[in-house]
Amino acid sequence: MTVTQDVAPATGPDRPGPAGFDLTALDLTDPQTFLDVDPHAMWRRFRAESPVHWHPAGPRTPGFWVLSTYADAVAVYRDNKRFTSEKGNVLTTLLQGEDSASRKMLAVTDGVRHREIRNVMLKSFAPRVLEPVVAGVHTHTRELLGRAVAADRVDFVADVVDHIPIQTMGDLLDIPHADRPRLVEWNTQTLARHGSGDDEFQSLMARNEIIMYMGELAAERRRNPGEDVLSVLAAATVDGKPLTEDEIVFNTYSLILGGDESTRTSLIGGLIALAEHPEQWRRLKSGEVSADAATEEILRWTTPAMHFGRRALVDVPLRDKVVRAGDIVTLWNTSANFDEQAFTDPQRFDAGRSPNKHVVFGHGPHFCLGAFLGRVHVKAMVEAVRDMVDDITLLGPPQRLYSNFVRAYSALPVAFTARAAAQEAPAPATPRQTGKETH
């Protein structure tokens, strides 16, 4: 069993990058930075030289704090008394000073209202409730991968991955099948662009398209409720009062946003990681490591959402610095998940890594509501590739999207060699339940 590739490694800590860069000169608001600089080398230096780093203001944006260690990120994720999400939870909205979904969408709502809405939504995301969805994910993944294996060459993004998480979210929300491809494209435009030449206005318009679409669908479900999550939200009450229209629309928008792009990124990055680390691929196929362990390592290794953010409510001492009330604080998961103080040999892709307490899904009160489904999607692909594929051949470098938030891809040309005697996988085990709220 071998894995071949026709291109240089595309992911991981050893990807070439310019040496000797000045940390104070790096612009983390510019998506191009994450294409030009080896991120692992960059974050190693941040953790070693400036773990609590002040990023200077730009021509039209304020300065902000950059936290790069696992311990600091976890501490702030836990601390919802001194840090708030209600001014935004990603750099783009935090720099603008506000988030239009504040106190309407779970991810940017704190306190009592956050708990109330989260409790409503948790009922639809319990593993028992999702059992038929999990079975559908495994079946759908195998069907798509089977067609890809039978072809000479596929774009793993367009031909396989684009059709997986959106079908799950579409089924959960009962979105008409004909509308789902449009949601994938809008979602991609919302979180990332294809290049620096793309207009940021398109991202805003794509966001508005999703919100308007979900608003129309929510209105229809209030008239004719079904069994789907959108209908549950539309019919839900807290203390006898229904959720507002904005709360229904923004929270379904959040599910689409988080459930699709982050899962797609993990699936694509996971296949690349297996192709570029043949010894780990052999360990998986031989049964030396479990699909559950490989799933967790793929999530850590890919870390789809590079950062999340908070705003300080009071002065907070952090190491040798003081974060002042009102300051923006960004928590860089993509660094925390490779912190030498939290992970043994973190620069190594180890499919059997244990323990593996990554922060892909955040931590604390805003822990990702859809983490269970995220794990289901990755595990389904891990098991399908393990059981159906002998060789993975990358036919060209993956095409990265332009973003400082998600490490996303627009294309990955690949060829698969079918397993000579494909084995039926055992019935999928239920991943551990964890609370998709987009942190």
**The pLDDT value given to residue 331:** 98
Calculate mean pLDDT across residues 57-79.
Answer: 97
Binned at pLDDT 50, 70 and 90, residue 203 comes out as: confident
Whole-prediction pTM value? 0.89
**The pLDDT value given to residue 424:** 45
Instruction: Flag whether pLDDT at 89 surpasses 60.
Output: yes
Look up residue 132 and give its two tokens. 């038929």
**The pLDDT value given to residue 191:** 66
Note the pLDDT tens digit of each residue in 158-201: 999 999 998 999 999 999 999 998 988 888 778 665 555 556 67
Highest average pLDDT, of 10-14, 43-47, 231-235, comes from 43-47
Three-state SS at 114: helix
What domains appear along the chain, each with residue ranges and CATH number? 99-311+340-418 (1.10.630.10)
Largest CA distance in the chain: 62
